[in-house]
């Protein structure tokens, strides 16, 4: 079997998606249609479908994936309890009297929101609604304001504890074990979500610093694009208000992330602490009620159901894809590329970047990563480095015109006076920053692998 049918199946999925059908149903429905047709024509062995119940049971038993609804609950609760609003208001007072200060505040609050929610759409929409009107009112350049908000919103891809990294960690862990078994290593090493969290810290913080340097440069060379707030907006009780608004969520984030990286708690256990801590913060801010709890639970259920529904559809799709010999075909194609490991990695990153225009990170994580990751890892690539490269690559894709998801999210909440071309113009320098960081990480993988090695010794 040459595996070409598997590629046709991949193409068929995109056609079905472009017709507007839900991702999970598109994956599962296309896979079943090809499987039944293949069995009828004698090109597919139905025994592959018999493995589906075991896969689904494995999903149910997976302790790591229990962290997903808990982290979602934590993020939604913090979002609805006006934590971002209070932080932005106080940080604006702290930095606002400096040129570009309001932009600094948006980046820093976006970083904290990214660490709290880990969901790109939620952060972009929240920051767009809270900060864009203020930035425009203070005569910020519309393009700069939009670019800053979109860039800060996508930090949820790389700043831990991120749902993206939780899902990637689980998938790459399975792929790493599979790669080692394929190479005849029957006592395989493991990689955990904690490894990816530790690996993401230095690249994530570096990205935030680069964003701040860019804004500082704009403030120095073109202060009219990001003017300072009037001096009279200062508040004598600012530091008390800032401490009240900043320290509780910061302590919560440090507790969750620190317990995972320190090996004190599993991601699921730390996520449960985060969920309860977020509810406690909402209660202390008097933003907690039964009605609010009901709304948070409904939002959490919707997001979680979407994630697992896509995971089930992707599991079925990957089984049928392998049944048609697609994994052998991809391995052959990547192995035959010029440039060896570099060439294979470059092609995979380019394909994922383009897929990021039409698929969310969940679909790419569950559909594409299980296919290509075992092949790349068998070539000797570090699983932590691969995971961080994928996360950064998708973050850049979600920011890139004309199809970046972050741009669509901001366009949906931006006033009509903001032109789409201004949003595109504003994100361009931040895309250049992301590509610069990607090239740094590609050149020095130690940016991602050093800290996990120091902490875990592997």
Q: Is 185 exposed, middle or buried (0-12, 13-18, 19+ CB in 10 A)?
A: exposed
Q: Check residue 364 and report its DSSP letter.
A: I
| pLDDT given for residue 3 in this prediction | 67
Question: Reduced to 3 states, what is the DSSP secondary structure of residue 179?
Answer: helix
- With respect to residue 59, please indicate whether it lies within any of the assigned structural domains: no
CB 363 within 8 A of CB 310: yes
Cis preceding linkage at 161, omega within 30: yes
| pLDDT given for residue 445 in this prediction | 93
- With respect to residue 57, please indicate whether it lies within any of the assigned structural domains: no
Total domain count, the chain:
1
Q: Check residue 342 and report its DSSP letter.
A: H
The residues of the chain scoring below 70 in pLDDT are 1-3, 84, 96, 115-122, 231-238, 241, 287, 458
Closest CA to 385 of 351, 358, 349: 349
Tell whether the torsion through CA atoms of 59, 61, 66 and 69 is positive or negative: positive
- With respect to residue 152, please indicate whether it lies within any of the assigned structural domains: yes
Q: Is 36 exposed, middle or buried (0-12, 13-18, 19+ CB in 10 A)?
A: middle
Query: Measuring CA to CA, how many Å separate 121 from each of 125, 150, 225, 417?
Result: 6, 10, 26, 22
Q: How far apart are CA 287 and CA 83, in angstroms?
A: 10
- With respect to residue 19, please indicate whether it lies within any of the assigned structural domains: no
| pLDDT given for residue 211 in this prediction | 95
Closest CA to 201 of 457, 458, 450: 450
| pLDDT given for residue 142 in this prediction | 92
- With respect to residue 380, please indicate whether it lies within any of the assigned structural domains: yes
| pLDDT given for residue 410 in this prediction | 86
- With respect to residue 15, please indicate whether it lies within any of the assigned structural domains: no
> Which pair of structure tokens corresponds to residue 196?
């990816």
- With respect to residue 85, please indicate whether it lies within any of the assigned structural domains: yes
| 219 CB-side CA count, 13 A | 20
- With respect to residue 28, please indicate whether it lies within any of the assigned structural domains: no
Domain of residue 102, residue span = 65-298+325-456
Reported as a single tens digit per residue, the pLDDT across 363-397 is: 888 888 888 888 899 888 999 999 999 999 988 98
| pLDDT given for residue 214 in this prediction | 95
Q: Is 161 exposed, middle or buried (0-12, 13-18, 19+ CB in 10 A)?
A: buried
> Which pair of structure tokens corresponds to residue 348?
């995979």
Q: How many CB atoms lie within 10 A of CB 454?
A: 9
| pLDDT given for residue 206 in this prediction | 94
């Amino acid at each position: 079997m040459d595996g070409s049918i598997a590629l046709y199946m991949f193409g068929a999925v995109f056609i079905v998606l472009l017709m507007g059908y839900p991702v999970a149903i598109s994956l599962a429905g296309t896979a079943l249609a090809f499987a039944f047709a293949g069995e009828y024509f004698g090109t597919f062995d139905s025994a592959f479908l018999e493995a589906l119940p075991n896969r689904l049971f494995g999903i149910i038993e997976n302790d790591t994936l229990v962290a997903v609804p808990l982290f979602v609950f934590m993020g939604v609760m913090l979002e609805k309890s006006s934590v971002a609003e209070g932080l932005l208001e106080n940080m604006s007072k702290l930095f606002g009297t400096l040129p570009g200060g309001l932009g600094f505040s948006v980046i820093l609050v976006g970083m904290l929101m990214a660490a709290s929610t880990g969901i790109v759409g939620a952060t972009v929409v929240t920051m767009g609604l809270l900060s864009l009107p203020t930035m425009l009112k203070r005569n910020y350049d519309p393009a700069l304001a939009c670019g800053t908000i979109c860039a800060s919103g996508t930090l949820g891809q790389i700043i831990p504890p991120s749902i993206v990294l939780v899902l990637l960690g689980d998938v790459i862990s399975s792929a790493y074990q599979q790669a080692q078994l394929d190479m005849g290593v029957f006592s395989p090493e493991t990689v955990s979500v904690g490894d990816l969290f530790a690996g993401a810290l230095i690249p994530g913080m570096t990205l935030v610093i680069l964003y701040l340097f860019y804004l500082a440069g704009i403030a120095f060379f073109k202060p009219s694009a990001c003017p300072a707030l009037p001096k009279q907006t200062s508040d004598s009780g600012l530091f008390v208000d800032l401490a009240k608004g900043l320290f509780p969520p910061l302590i919560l984030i440090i507790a969750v992330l620190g317990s995972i990286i320190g090996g004190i708690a599993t991601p699921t256990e730390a996520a449960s602490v985060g969920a309860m801590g977020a509810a406690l913060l909402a209660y202390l801010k008097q933003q907690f009620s039964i009605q609010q709890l009901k709304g948070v639970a409904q939002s959490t259920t919707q997001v979680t159901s979407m994630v697992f529904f896509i995971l089930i559809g992707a599991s079925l799709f990957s089984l049928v894809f392998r049944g048609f010999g697609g994994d052998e075909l991809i391995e052959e194609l990547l192995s035959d590329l010029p440039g060896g490991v570099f060439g294979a990695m470059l092609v995979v990153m380019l394909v994922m970047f383009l897929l990021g225009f039409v698929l969310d990170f969940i679909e790419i994580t569950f559909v594409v990563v299980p296919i290509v990751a075992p092949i790349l890892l068998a070539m000797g690539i570090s699983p932590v480095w691969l995971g961080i490269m994928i996360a950064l690559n998708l973050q850049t894709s979600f920011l890139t015109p004309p199809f970046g998801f972050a741009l669509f999210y901001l366009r949906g909440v931006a006033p009509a006076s903001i032109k789409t071309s201004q949003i595109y113009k504003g994100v361009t320098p931040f895309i250049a920053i992301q590509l610069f960081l990607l090239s740094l990480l590609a050149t020095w993988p130690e940016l991602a692998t050093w800290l996990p090695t120091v902490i875990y010794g592997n």
